[in-house]
Structure 1
Amino acid sequence: MSTMSKTCIISGASRGIGRSIAIALSNRQDITNFIIVSRTEDGLQETAQLMNPTKNVVYYAMDLTDYEAVQELIETVGERYGSIDYLLNVAGYAEPKSLLETSVENWEMTYKVNVHSIFFLTKEVVRFMKKTGGKILNVASTAGSSPRPGWLAYSSSKAAIISMSQTLSDELSEYGILVYCISPGRCATELRRALAPDEDQSTIMQPEHVAEIVDNLLSDNGICLDGQDITVRKQMTKVSSSK
């Protein structure tokens, strides 16, 4: 397969950061085939329409916590395109609750989406990627590396992603696979809007800013940045009060 005809899988591409990443990467010359995945078909259709029309974009609306479905998807993609060169694990779930308010169902759903789906996708993709090398990028959060009272399930699941990324960076290096992990801070997404409805989203980081960082990481400029927890945040402007 030509080095200019690479294949990229992006989860959580129906909105927010995942959508912005898909749009940004579709303008790269080296990636021809895009497989975008999410639960929401309407959102995926809209993302596909916003991507570079010269690229081959295929979308799958599916439950990424279903291991058998993930196996079938990756098998189909690997056989159809011959290689899988990029995997971006962006899909996420959040319903912040304090310890005593967190139900078992909340805890399990958070880990199924934020941790288990990354394990499922990465395991199946590496079966193909180890033959050719490639790049994997996981989206964690600054909540995974600092205390977040009232966000126990979410913050601990993101900490798990950071740890997984660091371990896999070492484990998969023998195959020529680079593993990156980014931890965005406050970002203007639909999820953030639901969590902080009174926040002025024009004052915080935008999904396009994160997508730009990801595009840069997955280029040759990303050398020596794999295996690290890379914080991506917009510094808040301090307003000094007059005396």
Structure 2
Amino acid sequence: MSQPCQRKDGLTLFRSGCRPRESSSDRTVRCVPQHPTDGREQSVELRNKIALVTGSTSNIGLAAAEVFAREGATVVVHSRHLDQALAVARRLGGDALAADLADPGAVEALFAEVARRHGHLDVLLGCVARPARTTLLETTLDEWDQTLAVNLTGALLCTQHAARLMRDRGGAIIQVTAASADRASPGSAAYAVSKAGLNALVRQAAVEFAPLGIRVNAIVSGLVGTPVGRRDMGNRPPEDPAIPLRRIGRPEDVAEAAAFLASDRAAYVTNAFLAVDGGRMNAALRMQ
């Protein structure tokens, strides 16, 4: 079985799907990816597209990686933990890269490797988020800095590097944000501020990158049945009366929206914030 390579710049990478061949730098492994069908007919919406999904080994990111692969994309699976990235990449037939998005050097190396292997990038979907559930008075400077380093600065760096790889042929950048960016709730100070900053980043990037043919959009995720989402639900029933569609979301709900924004079906969509929340954001209902 092939072994991964850990680079001194903080990037760990692997390509799954066949026997690896050592590169000249002796720091990476390369091979031809294989796309699974899972017994389903493969769509062509994202065929021939290279898609990097950050945080794609669990929850929304994992669901998106699966949907993108089903739609024909070559998926670059990303995680901080190599073993988790490998497990997903082997199943989807894509690349596996591990990097800490709070480390600027690791982010630079991540995109340099994407460029080396593929020559370009068509889609960036940002799913990495550091949850922070501390009241404003109890938020330490360390927690504040760490949350913004991942949720905002990391997103900035990924957006910049992705745009440089897309500028010659266009592309799509999608960030997953949250309703807390525009609606305050107790105990989410650092997280809410980081998401508000991310919203501003999306708007700015959409305007500046439009002449380059790069579309930038956001998905405003509502409550989703992830560990964090279930914790936020507390004792409320899954059929939450504050959600007009009467259920919390599934990771696949967000993933399907991301696939639309990544595809040519959304060719005239940029600077949009697509709410995937069962109608909760704009409903007059109140939490029970």
Structure 1 residues 153-172: aligned runs within 5 Å: 153-172=190-209
Alpha-carbon distance between aligned partners in 2 of 1:6 and 1:223, rounded to the nearest angstrom: 14
Alpha-carbon distance between aligned partners in 2 of 1:235 and 1:170, rounded to the nearest angstrom: 27
Aligned equivalent of 2:48:
5
Q: Percent identity?
A: 27
Cα root mean square deviation, aligned: 2.1
One-letter amino acid of the counterpart of residue 143, structure 1: S
One-letter amino acid of the counterpart of residue 158, structure 1: K
Q: Secondary structure at the match of 1:231?
A: strand
Aligned equivalent of 1:26:
69
From 253, 259, 267, give the equivalent of 1:215.
259
Alpha-carbon distance between aligned partners in 1 of 2:167 and 2:234, rounded to the nearest angstrom: 43
Question: 1:11–1:165: structure 2 CA closer, same or farther, 3 Å change rule?
Answer: same
Q: 2:53–2:126: 8 Å Cα contact kept in structure 1? A: yes
Q: 2:215–2:269: 8 Å Cα contact kept in structure 1? A: no
Alpha-carbon distance between aligned partners in 2 of 1:41 and 1:76, rounded to the nearest angstrom: 15
1:149 Cα deviation after fit: 2.5
Q: 1:36–1:60: 8 Å Cα contact kept in structure 2? A: yes
Alignment TM-score, normalising by the size of structure 1: 0.87
Alpha-carbon distance between aligned partners in 2 of 1:224 and 1:127, rounded to the nearest angstrom: 21
Structure 1 residues 52-63: aligned runs within 5 Å: 56-63=93-100
Q: 2:50–2:118: 8 Å Cα contact kept in structure 1? A: yes
Q: Secondary structure at the match of 2:128?
A: coil
Highest RCO, 1 vs 2 (Cα 8 Å, sep ≥ 6): 1
Aligned equivalent of 1:205:
249
Aligned equivalent of 1:68:
105
1:96 Cα deviation after fit: 1.1
- Higher mean alpha-carbon deviation, 197-206 vs 145-154, is at 197-206
Structure 1 residues 81-92: aligned runs within 5 Å: 81-92=118-129
Alpha-carbon distance between aligned partners in 2 of 1:173 and 1:111, rounded to the nearest angstrom: 26
1:201 Cα deviation after fit: 5.2
Superimposed CA distance per residue, residues 123-153 of structure 1 (whole angstroms, 9 cap, x where no aligned partner): 1121221011101001110111212232111
From 20, 32, 40, give the equivalent of 2:81.
40
One-letter amino acid of the counterpart of residue 39, structure 1: R
Aligned equivalent of 1:135:
172
Alignment TM-score, normalising by the size of structure 2: 0.74
Question: 1:121–1:217: structure 2 CA closer, same or farther, 3 Å change rule?
Answer: same
Aligned equivalent of 2:116:
79
Aligned equivalent of 1:108:
145
One-letter amino acid of the counterpart of residue 145, structure 1: D
Question: 1:197–1:39: structure 2 CA closer, same or farther, 3 Å change rule?
Answer: farther
Alignment of 1:234 with 2:278, yes or no, is yes
Structure 2 unaligned spans of 5+: 1-45, 240-246
Superimposed CA distance per residue, residues 218-240 of structure 1 (whole angstroms, 9 cap, x where no aligned partner): 2233244320222110247x8xx
One-letter amino acid of the counterpart of residue 176, structure 2: V
Aligned equivalent of 1:241:
none
1:47 Cα deviation after fit: 2.8
Structure 1 residues 172-211: aligned runs within 5 Å: 172-196=209-233, 198=235, 203-211=247-255
**Structure with the higher helix share, 1 or 2:** 1
Q: 1:14–1:40: 8 Å Cα contact kept in structure 2? A: no
